[in-house]
Structure 1
Amino acid sequence: MDALDLARWQFAVTTVYHFLFVPITIGLSALVAVLQTAWVRTGKEHYLRATKFWGKLFLINFAMGVVTGIVQEFQFGMNWSEYSRFVGDVFGAPLAIEGLLAFFLESTFLGLWIFGWDRLPKKAHLASIWLASIGTILSAYFILAANSWMQHPVGYRINPATNRAELTDIVAVLTNSTTLVAFPHTIAAAFLTAGVLMLCVCGWHLMRGNEIGVFRPSLRLALWTIVISGAAVAISGDVMGRVMTEQQPMKMAAAEALYETSQPASFSLFSIGPLDGSAETFGLRVPHALSFLATADPNGKVEGINDIQREYEQRFGPGDYTPYVPATYWSFRLMIGLGMISVLLGVLGLWLTRRGRMPRGKLFWRAAVWSVSLPLLANSFGWIFTEMGRQPWTVFGVLKTSNSVSPTVGIGSVVTSLAVFTLLYGALAVVELFLLLRYAKAGPPELPVHDPDAESETEDRPLAFAY
């Protein structure tokens, strides 16, 4: 391996690791807000206990996401200085807005929520968690706008004097068509992830008969979240597939390992073979499915890798413009398959818990506990597909990955930092799992007899302590 390969590995490790925490933070913040809203509206104690329980798990995950996110941003200056120099004027704009607007909104109101128990009026305290949740969603939007510009660059020009990309239209960057389809898809996946995490913890406790009054409402909330967000993931993913085919046809062809242009094109569910277009030992296909996914027409034409390669050579010059097909092929299928299994489990759970019922035996509960890894892996494979399918470009059609790496960073430096980050992230993973398991197994907190949160609003006391 050379410095470029190692730098790519390092960025992949830090990005995939960071994104384990991001969807949980986005989804769980909103679910905590929903539970607290239910408590404010009904005054029922089990909603308050559920709010504090899930809120603690959310805060542990949020802290880990902040730490790993900061480290990720250092990568641009460390190993990808040529990329930062070339696109910093454009790429930095949405990231700056995210930091100055969305993250400050999120962190400020999250601080009020953490320290506002017993000090803020009920509705003001409730508003703080909703605003913190909105902040997490806004953060996702601006970061996705930056990433979408790499997939489909708009609103810029190349300055011939400095050979840098310069921002000309921030509105075009923020309303990029890629952003508009990637954002709902990512947010829906985040809610799916948070719902499955909630299902996992509820399953562990309900299998043991613990705190049924608290965990059954949480279970139903988790199941509905999984099913609704799963439907949103499927719909937005369908739209995203067509946008991707229009903007990056090579990525769609690589996702299918489709080397020759086909009309209609079938979708490969499973394949045994080298995936290099030479042969296929065994394949299971759905007729017309790829044509519909790519063009919305079951008889539509889908370009193959070979034709696109020739087109790109004429457009961009000599070179290999084909991504690593085995990675794109399998990551695309694992993303879809693992997500679908999560949704099917949610549908099954809703059926088994209808009209006050509870699943009999331990089979469903065990499946619920082990399902926590499904959406996390699906998210990871989704990002692997998105980023590797764009190769050999860092910014599609503008800047190649080979021209983005820092020219003065040698193999020794990258190996050292990669080893340090891997060990550090391994240690953080142990800490994260220890804290999550400890507090998840502990269950919801008991409320003191005179807990101000459980007392009436009509009690004759100063407003700041009335709740």
Structure 2
Amino acid sequence: MDEVVVNLSRLQFAATALYHFLFVPLTLGLSFMMAIMESTYVMTGREIWRKMTLFWGTLFGINFAMGVATGIVMEFQFGMNWSYYSHYVGDVFGAPLAIEGLMAFFLEATFIGLFFFGWDRLSKVGHLVVTWLVALGANFSALWILIANGWMQYPVGATFNPDTMRMEVTDFMAVLFNPVAQAKFVHTVSAGYVTGAVFVFGISALFLLKGKHVELARRSMVVAASFGLASALSVVVLGDESGYVATEHQKMKIAAMEAMYHTEPAPAGLSLVAFPIGNGEVFEIKIPWVLGLITTRSFDTELPGIDELVEHAETRIENGLLAYEAVAALEENRQDEDARAVISETWPDLGYALLLKRYRVDIENATPEEISMAAADTVPAVWPLFWTFRLMVGIGFFFIAFFALSFWKASRGTLETHRWFLWGAVAAMPLPWLAAEAGWIIAEFGRQPWAIEGVLPTFYAASGLTVLDLSLSLTFYVTVYTILAIIMVILMVKAIQAGPKDYVALLNGEPDAMETPAPKSDIPQSPEGYGDDEPSGKPAPAE
């Protein structure tokens, strides 16, 4: 396969995925915050919480529509750009995606209509159920997609079928409860919750800075501070679990993320910074023991370095050649039981043998030098992974500190006492997206050279398209997606500038009850006043 074609195919899928993932985290985060706000409305009957649910729900709806528009194309790319991938593992990979469409997406898409148009047609409790189903649908959608993606990282519950020459499901429950998929799911959705909390907190801070919609902004910030703190702590804890699982099943990714070329005595230290200094040596500043404790949960388990893992890959390539030769023999004689016996023992290494296809067609005649080059290809780009991982982790710890401070200030009723803090909240709004995109780069870039870890090399999975085909489609997708992103920003800005509106009343031709400002005594300032709609009995301070 032409390397330019493969790289353009990868770039096109990466571009569409990264654009799509601009919308996914906010959908996950806003959906649950809307449900929390409406639950408070149903329990208290206070109109301000309905007002908040409608306002943030409007922004959720804009984001959801753009997420759907950008996500559909990704499904088609598996057939268009990665046809051999679809042929080889479609029996496994297609099942979670089909369930996502039939169960999660239709659940979410159906009830989102009821969320917007059911306020005056459903009871309070009935509409609350609808809102929670929208939130659950969004999270179920993420679950099934990440089950599919987790299988790409750690392909369990499937084997190579020598009769069909494809990977096929043998244990769907193993696919479903794949430890990598489960760790990725909880880590990813928690990051989405942080994104939603930062978005709500930042927009609310902007309202307070401008002196607009103060009642809504204060209460929204309290919800965002508590929800954000719990989510930020979850991201770090669950990210630690993802690292532990990756150590079990993706050792090369962990070694590359740490720029660890040589196996260290247990427990390994965590590199804060590192730079190559030539001859395979690295200058680094380490915290002793931390990496070993995080990734192995022990003091005496070694983490293999890149050099040792490359040597292990050479052994797997040699073993995979036995499987490749047996497959060739079985194609000539379907009754060859000896070949079937060899395949049953060696097929897990067949993908390693396919790495040699980059260097020659008749891989059964590969030289030791070619085997060494193929083994070296199992190392992803080290330094992009190293620094991207540290960017993601740094942002994660920043948000723990940010939301801890926010929660403390909320408990004391002093969220708006310092303008520098409000401006900081506004400035921090892009950071969760930066961390989320960095996380996907680590997950996908760190898996290279594999489309399916250890099973199917990326260059072997691509379709036989031309450079012109891919150049034109890549240009088209990037242009359209950029336009969609600009449209979303414009719509979001207009909705934020318009402020809270009773869209149900407006659609029915009724006056907008939300235009009537609340009395100042209904906007509490004391710590105990946050979340109350009733006057506190104390004189309200001047605004």
TM-score (norm 2): 0.80
The alpha carbon displacement at 1:85 in A equals: 0.7
The AA in structure 2 aligned to 1:184 is: V
CA distance in 1, matches of 2:110, 2:90: 27
Aligned pairs for 1:87-166 within 5 A: 87-166=89-168
From 188, 207, 213, give the equivalent of 2:215.
213
359-368 or 444-453: bigger deviation = 444-453
CA distance in 1, matches of 2:275, 2:206: 38
230-239 or 348-357: bigger deviation = 348-357
CA distance in 2, matches of 1:251, 1:224: 34
Per-residue CA deviations over 1:418-464 (Å, capped at 9, x if unaligned) read: 111111111111101111111123222269797799xxxxxxxxxxx
Contact residue 188 and residue 232 of structure 1 kept, 8 A: yes
The alpha carbon displacement at 1:316 in A equals: 2.8
The AA in structure 2 aligned to 1:410 is: T
Report what 2:394 is aligned to. Answer: 337
Contact residue 54 and residue 502 of structure 2 kept, 8 A: no
SS in 1 for 2:73: helix
Report what 1:460 is aligned to. Answer: none
The AA in structure 2 aligned to 1:346 is: F
The alpha carbon displacement at 1:272 in A equals: 3.4
The AA in structure 2 aligned to 1:375 is: P
Change (3 A) 1:153 1:446: closer
SS in 1 for 2:261: coil
The alpha carbon displacement at 1:251 in A equals: 0.5
For structure 1, list consecutive stretches of 5 or more residues without a partner in the other structure: 454-467
From 256, 260, 275, give the equivalent of 1:272.
275
SS in 2 for 1:273: strand
SS in 2 for 1:2: helix
The AA in structure 1 aligned to 2:45 is: G
CA distance in 1, matches of 2:189, 2:46: 30
The AA in structure 2 aligned to 1:423 is: T
Change (3 A) 1:255 1:117: same
CA distance in 1, matches of 2:511, 2:433: 40
Report what 1:457 is aligned to. Answer: none
Per-residue CA deviations over 1:84-141 (Å, capped at 9, x if unaligned) read: 1111110000100010111111111111112112111111111111111111111111
The alpha carbon displacement at 1:222 in A equals: 0.7
| Identity over aligned pairs, percent | 43
CA distance in 1, matches of 2:422, 2:444: 35
CA distance in 1, matches of 2:497, 2:313: 55
Contact residue 255 and residue 261 of structure 2 kept, 8 A: yes
Change (3 A) 1:253 1:226: same
SS in 1 for 2:119: coil
CA distance in 1, matches of 2:230, 2:105: 27
CA distance in 2, matches of 1:381, 1:451: 42
Contact residue 339 and residue 378 of structure 1 kept, 8 A: yes
Report what 1:301 is aligned to. Answer: 302
For structure 2, list consecutive stretches of 5 or more residues without a partner in the other structure: 319-370, 515-543
Report what 1:82 is aligned to. Answer: 84
Change (3 A) 1:126 1:312: same
Report what 1:441 is aligned to. Answer: 497
Aligned pairs for 1:233-244 within 5 A: 233-244=235-246
Aligned pairs for 1:8-23 within 5 A: 8-23=10-25
Contact residue 96 and residue 144 of structure 2 kept, 8 A: yes
Contact residue 107 and residue 134 of structure 2 kept, 8 A: yes
Contact residue 242 and residue 293 of structure 1 kept, 8 A: yes
The AA in structure 1 aligned to 2:164 is: T
From 350, 354, 358, give the equivalent of 2:415.
358
The AA in structure 2 aligned to 1:433 is: V
CA distance in 2, matches of 1:362, 1:272: 39
Report what 1:464 is aligned to. Answer: none
Aligned pairs for 1:280-299 within 5 A: 280=282, 283-298=284-299
1:401 and 2:401 are equivalent in the alignment? no
Per-residue CA deviations over 1:117-170 (Å, capped at 9, x if unaligned) read: 211111111111111111111111111110011111111121213211111222
CA distance in 2, matches of 1:261, 1:153: 26
Change (3 A) 1:327 1:384: same
Report what 1:427 is aligned to. Answer: 483
SS in 2 for 1:258: coil
Contact residue 208 and residue 416 of structure 2 kept, 8 A: no
Aligned pairs for 1:16-31 within 5 A: 16-31=18-33
Report what 2:360 is aligned to. Answer: none
Contact residue 288 and residue 299 of structure 1 kept, 8 A: no
SS in 2 for 1:161: coil
Per-residue CA deviations over 1:382-422 (Å, capped at 9, x if unaligned) read: 11001111111111111110110002x01111111111111
The AA in structure 2 aligned to 1:271 is: A
CA distance in 2, matches of 1:103, 1:144: 14
The alpha carbon displacement at 1:68 in A equals: 0.5
Structure 1 or 2, whichever has the larger Rg, is 2
347-356 or 30-39: bigger deviation = 347-356
